Amino acid sequence: MHGLRRACPPCGGQAGWAPSRTHGAQAREPEPNIATQTTYPSYGYRQSLGWTGLGEYWESTSRTRNHEMFGSIGRWMFEDLAGIQATAPGYKEIAIKPLVAPGQGIDSASATYESVNGKIASSWSQSSSRITLKVTIPANTTAKVYVPVTNPAAVQESGSGKTYAAAKAPGVKLTGTQGDAVVYTVGSGTYTFTASLSR
């Protein structure tokens, strides 16, 4: 690692891009910076060149740009940044555990995944004082949703169109806290969680 640059993150596949899955206030890992910096060598540098694929090597003179096997960052974007993680075969059980890193330069993320049971979606945004996390869980699927705050009383849910304290919202069960997140168990449906970021 050279500062926030890795000499060749794609060369090692997942080993070269191995985020820690630390979330909330503890998310001080370099991955958000590596993903967003635009200096050479980085994924942002490739994007600044107008590339829509991954090059054979980092230099702008790379002739081929179809090396998707170097795309470990894509997995990080789905599983960590947006937080969509399978916790049982066939996505019967999932976790929505987004990497919300205050002050890291990423203020929102969204992703969808078409599972065998239907669409899974995770979309979050943050301001200096508030976070909103909207999730869609398909039929025959159970999810644990990690809202990156520490106080369950500060979390509201409004997916039905009416705002509730999240622990009392229809279809939502407070599971507890884990690290810097309040954890809820939900069934199929669309849920919108909002919370104050004042921890």
- Angstrom distance (rounded) from CA 46 to CA 73: 13
Q: For residue 120, what pLDDT is reported?
A: 98
Question: Over the range 135-167, which residues count as b (16 or more CB within 10 Å of their CB) and which as e?
Answer: bbbbeebebbbbbbbeebebbbbbbeeeeeebb
Please state the pTM of the whole predicted model.
0.77
Residues 108 and 169 in one domain: yes
Number of separate domains in the chain: 2
* Residue 189 and residue 126 share a domain: yes
Task: Report pLDDT for 56.
Answer: 78
Q: Contact at 8 Å (CB) between 12 and 69? A: no
The whole-number pLDDT of residue 102 equals 67
Residues 170 and 113 in one domain: yes
Q: Is residue 2 part of a domain?
A: no
pLDDT in tens, the chain (199 residues): 344 444 444 444 444 455 455 554 444 455 666 667 788 877 778 888 888 777 877 788 887 877 766 667 778 889 999 999 999 999 999 999 998 876 677 899 999 999 999 999 999 999 988 999 999 999 999 999 999 999 999 999 999 999 999 999 999 999 999 999 999 999 999 999 999 876 4
pLDDT score of 125 = 96
Beta-bridge partner residues of 177: 182
Question: What are residue 2's phi and psi, to 5 degrees?
Answer: -115, 95
Question: What does the pLDDT read at residue 46?
Answer: 80
Which CATH number do you get for residue 93? 2.60.420.10
Which residues form the domain of 122? 84-196
